[in-house]
């Protein structure tokens, strides 16, 4: 099917960088992953074909895998009649065409905590850039002599702000406490690292490394739960174990491929961004598909 750049159904409550979210009543939302792609907090053009379906299916895989570690907001995919047996087919859920259901997830509405819960098991990307210049990670000092892509043991929690517009900014531990309180700050760090370790161990069994990732959390009926997406190629860096070598930036099965092209293009990271060439679009899709297939063990079906 053609790329899905935007959706327009009844009850739109939020249009994010990638996902369109609709209210379908009774405390439930329909979250549709489009094919939009963003980098450096700017939405790029053109979209990446099938990306939204890959993201939705990958998130569902990880939400299922970690459900016994942390509760999450998933009710079911929009094509899962059994999971949605008690969900009325109203609003956007009734309106979406069948070929969009595999990219659409019914979720419970949560009170989102405005923190990007980032955990780094390896130093790369913006974390490596900061360390190279200042010897710090999220303004916290690290030992000298660390090389690019080196494993961090234990993994380091490096949260950032959750900005609706503009750039997310790193947060120090004290800033997280100021925002959500000491008890919740501790819960967020412990949950993020615990879930990351579970996923990292699973990925290792598939011959993959999750270098870093970001998670989001919310509150439902007083309970802290996982929300949004989980361990996708948008929110994580994936490397192959057999080609990994400290001191060298590994080949990535994620959005880093697009970031690298943008940086090499000379773009100043401010909108508008240059259009992605056809070969970059194609190669990006291929990397997302490979990440999905390597990690889930399943063949991707568009």
Q: What is the mean pLDDT of the chain?
A: 95
**Are 215 and 117 a contacting pair, CB within 8 Å?**
yes
Overall average pLDDT of the 49-76 stretch: 98
> Is the pLDDT score of 239 beyond 60?
yes
**Are 31 and 74 a contacting pair, CB within 8 Å?**
no
For 177, residues 6+ apart whose C-beta sits below 8 A from its C-beta are 185
Cα–Cα distance measured from residue 34 to residue 4, given in angstroms and rounded to the nearest whole number: 5
Overall average pLDDT of the 229-250 stretch: 96
Query: What pLDDT does residue 79 have?
Result: 97
Overall average pLDDT of the 176-190 stretch: 97
Query: What pLDDT does residue 65 have?
Result: 98
Cα–Cα distance measured from residue 89 to residue 233, given in angstroms and rounded to the nearest whole number: 30
Overall average pLDDT of the 132-136 stretch: 97
How sure is the predictor about 169, in pLDDT bands with cuts at 50, 70 and 90? confident
Comparison of pLDDT for 95 and 140, the residue scoring more: 95
The model's pTM: 0.95
Q: How far is CA 119 from the centre of its chain?
A: 12
**Are 239 and 231 a contacting pair, CB within 8 Å?**
no
Query: What pLDDT does residue 166 have?
Result: 57
Query: What pLDDT does residue 298 have?
Result: 97
Provide the 3-class DSSP secondary structure of residue 106: strand
Query: What pLDDT does residue 162 have?
Result: 79
Cα–Cα distance measured from residue 179 to residue 184, given in angstroms and rounded to the nearest whole number: 9
Overall average pLDDT of the 15-38 stretch: 97
> Is the pLDDT score of 165 beyond 70?
no
Residue 192 CA: distances (Å) to CA of 69, 108, 131, 265: 10, 20, 22, 34
Query: What pLDDT does residue 167 have?
Result: 65
108-117 pLDDT per residue, tens: 999 999 999 9
96-130 pLDDT per residue, tens: 999 999 999 999 999 999 999 999 999 999 999 99
Give the domain ranges of the chain: 12-109, 112-255
Cα–Cα distance measured from residue 94 to residue 162, given in angstroms and rounded to the nearest whole number: 31
Overall average pLDDT of the 185-210 stretch: 98
**217: which strand partners?**
226
Query: What pLDDT does residue 164 have?
Result: 61
Comparison of pLDDT for 165 and 260, the residue scoring more: 260
For 143, residues 6+ apart whose C-beta sits below 8 A from its C-beta are none
> Is the pLDDT score of 55 beyond 80?
yes
Overall average pLDDT of the 72-88 stretch: 98
Architecture of domain 12-109: 2-Layer Sandwich (3.30)
> Is the pLDDT score of 243 beyond 90?
yes
Q: What is the DSSP string of 202-253?
A: HHHHTTEEEEEEEEEEEEETTEEEEES--S-TTTEEEEEGGG--TTS----S
* 112-255: CATH topology: D-amino Acid Aminotransferase; Chain A, domain 1 (3.30.470)
Cα-Cα-Cα-Cα torsion 241, 242, 243, 244, nearest 10 degrees, comes to 40
Query: What pLDDT does residue 276 have?
Result: 97
């Amino acid at each position: 099917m053609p790329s899905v750049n935007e959706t327009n159904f009844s009850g739109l409550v939020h249009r994010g960088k990638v996902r369109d979210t609709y209210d379908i009543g009774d405390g439930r939302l329909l979250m549709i992953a489009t094919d939009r792609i963003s980098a450096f907090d700017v939405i790029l053009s053109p979209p990446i074909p099938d990306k939204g379906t890959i993201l939705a299916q990958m998130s569902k895989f990880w939400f299922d895998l970690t459900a016994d570690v942390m509760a999450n907001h998933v009710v079911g995919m929009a094509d899962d009649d059994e999971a949605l047996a008690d969900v009325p087919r109203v609003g956007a859920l009734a309106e979406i065409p069948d070929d969009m259901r595999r990219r659409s997830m019914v979720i419970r509405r949560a009170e989102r905590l405005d923190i990007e819960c980032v955990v780094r098991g390896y130093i790369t990307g913006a974390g490596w850039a900061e360390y190279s210049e200042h010897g710090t990670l999220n303004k916290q000092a690290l030992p000298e002599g660390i090389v690019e892509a080196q494993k961090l043991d234990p993994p380091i929690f490096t949260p950032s702000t959750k900005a609706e517009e503009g750039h997310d900014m790193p947060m120090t531990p004290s800033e997280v406490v100021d925002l959500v309180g000491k008890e919740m700050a501790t819960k967020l760090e412990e949950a993020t690292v615990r879930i990351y370790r579970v996923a990292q161990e699973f990925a290792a069994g598939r011959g993959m490394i999750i270098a870093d990732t970001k998670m989001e959390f919310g509150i439902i009926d007083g309970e802290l739960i996982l929300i949004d997406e989980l361990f996708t190629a948008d929110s994580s860096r994936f490397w192959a174990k057999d080609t990994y070598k400290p001191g060298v930036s590994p080949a990535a099965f994620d959005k880093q491929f697009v970031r690298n092209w943008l940086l090499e293009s000379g773009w100043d990271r401010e909108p508008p961004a240059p259009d992605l060439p056809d070969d970059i679009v194609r190669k990006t899709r291929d990397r997302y598909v490979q990440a999905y297939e390597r990690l889930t063990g399943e063949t991707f079906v568009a």
